[in-house]
Every structure is written in C-alpha cells, then in structure tokens.
C-alpha cells in the first residue's frame, strides 16, 4: 500500500500538470488562474466522489501531501512548459496511467462505503474524469468526454471489470493491475485507431 500511496501522489501531481497545460491552451490564464485550474483538475474528481458519497474529510483535506503534489505539479508545468508540450506523447501515457489508477482507487473507495457495485463503478469513473469535466466547464468548453476519446467509457468498463473480478475472489493487487491495464489498453487502442463511440442519434 505504501507504493500505491506514492503512486497516488504522483498521479495527483500529473493531473495538476495536465490541468494547468490544458487551461493554458484554452483560456491563457495568468499564473494564479493556471494554478487554480490545475488544482481543481487534480482534486475535482475525487472530491466530487467523496461529496456525493458523504465521505469526509476529503482526501486532500486530511493529507496535505496531496496539496503539495499539486503545487509541485503546477510549478513544474510552468518551468518545463515547452519541454512538456514536446513530450505530449510521453505525457499522454502518464495521463492514461493516472486515469486508470484513479478509476480503480475510486471504485474501491466507494465499495468500502457499502454502496451498490453499479454506483461504485460510476464513482470510479467520476474520480477519474470529473476533474477534467470541471476544468472544461471553467474554461468555457464543452467537456471533451462528451464528444471525443473513449476514455470515460474505458474507465467505466475497467471499474466494472475490477468489481466483477473482486466479487469472483481475485486477489486485490493482481486485480488492480489487470483492471488498470484494461483501461490503459482500451484508451491507447482507441486513440491509435481513432475509434469513437457512435453518435447518440443517427439523424444528426
């Protein structure tokens, strides 16, 4: 679990970087604005999950290290901005790792609060994607998950697989790695092959 804790901190920092970079693309904020949006992107999904589930204190309120990880992420994003833009491909990989991890961690957290597994799968997906949704709303964009990228669907599928395998008795760490890997593979294939879900209606 010690390893997982550091991975979560790392993932939170990565989310802050990607939030600050995405915000910068769209709204050209000042230093404060970029940090603020990086912060919200990083804590938004997990916070919304915990607020919906009534689970207090929120993770970053009870453990200040998550706030420090975010601050570090925002500072790194500012200093290494040009390098990070060039490294988008590498960055995409880390982002995908982070999303996969947060999905499973989120679903697990929800299960520990004794909710229905369907709710837990939704909460896992929320943990991973709602930070980005809030970021897009704040920068006045239609959230990207509504249109492109299969990744929210991948999260939902990964969470459902994790919960099913857990129910069937698979050992937790194996299950964690396996389910996260499925999310990662779906997302990478979807982006490589430019796959997308069908439009909601054919008439459009």
Using CB under 8 A as the binding rule, the residues of this chain from 117 to 146 that contact a copy of itself are: 118-119, 122, 133, 137-143, 145-146
CA–CA gap between residue 135 and residue 148 (Å, rounded): 16
Please, what is the minimum distance in Å from the beta carbon of residue 78 to a copy of itself? 6
Q: Rank residues 75 and 188 by Cβ distance to a copy of itself and give the closer one.
A: 75
| 64 binds a copy of itself, rule: CB under 8 A | yes
Q: Rank residues 138 and 160 by Cβ distance to a copy of itself and give the closer one.
A: 138
Element (H, E) at 92: helix 88-112
CA–CA gap between residue 178 and residue 194 (Å, rounded): 24
| 200 binds a copy of itself, rule: CB under 8 A | yes
Structural tokens at position 30: 């000042």
| 93 binds a copy of itself, rule: CB under 8 A | no
| 89 binds a copy of itself, rule: CB under 8 A | no
Phi, psi values for residue 74, rounded to 5° = -65, -40
How many Å separate Cα 37 from the centre of its chain? 14
**Cis amide linkage into residue 57, ω under 30° from 0:** yes
| 32 binds a copy of itself, rule: CB under 8 A | yes
Stretch that binds a copy of itself, among 11-19, 92-100, 173-181, 193-201 (CB under 8 A): 193-201
Please, what is the minimum distance in Å from the beta carbon of residue 36 to a copy of itself? 7
Q: DSSP code of 139? A: T
From candidates 22, 53, 69, 190, binder to a copy of itself by CB under 8 A: 53
Of 129, 145, 130, 184, nearest in space to 161 by CA: 184
Using CB under 8 A as the binding rule, the residues of this chain from 142 to 171 that contact a copy of itself are: 142-143, 145-148, 150, 152-153, 156
Question: Any idea of the CA torsion for 147, 28, 36, 66, to the nearest 10 degrees?
Answer: 70
| 78 binds a copy of itself, rule: CB under 8 A | yes
CA–CA gap between residue 147 and residue 137 (Å, rounded): 14
Compute the half-sphere exposure of residue 172: CA atoms within 13 Å on the CB side of its CA.
6
Q: Which residues are near a copy of itself by CB under 8 A?
A: 20, 23-24, 27-34, 36-37, 47, 51-54, 56-58, 60-61, 64, 67, 78, 81-82, 115-116, 118-119, 122, 133, 137-143, 145-148, 150, 152-153, 156, 196-201, 203-204
């Amino acid at each position: 679990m010690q390893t997982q804790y550091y991975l979560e901190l790392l993932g939170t920092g990565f989310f802050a970087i990607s939030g600050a970079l995405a915000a910068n693309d769209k709204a050209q904020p000042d230093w404060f604005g970029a940090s603020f949006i990086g912060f919200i992107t990083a804590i938004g999904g997990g916070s919304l999950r915990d607020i919906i589930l009534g689970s207090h204190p929120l993770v970053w309120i009870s453990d200040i290290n998550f706030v420090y990880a975010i601050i570090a992420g925002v500072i790194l994003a500012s200093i290494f901005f040009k390098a990070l833009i060039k490294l988008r491909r590498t960055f995409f990989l880390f982002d995908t790792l982070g999303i996969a991890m947060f999905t499973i961690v989120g679903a697990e957290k929800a299960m520990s609060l004794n909710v229905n597994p369907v709710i837990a799968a939704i909460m896992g997906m929320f943990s991973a994607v709602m930070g980005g949704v809030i970021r897009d709303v704040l920068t006045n964009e239609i959230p990207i998950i509504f249109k492109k990228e299969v990744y929210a669907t991948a999260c939902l599928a990964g969470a459902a697989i994790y919960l099913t395998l857990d129910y069937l008795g698979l050992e937790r760490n194996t299950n964690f790695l396996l389910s996260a890997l499925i999310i990662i593979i779906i997302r990478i294939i979807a982006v490589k092959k430019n796959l997308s879900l069908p439009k909601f209606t054919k008439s459009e």
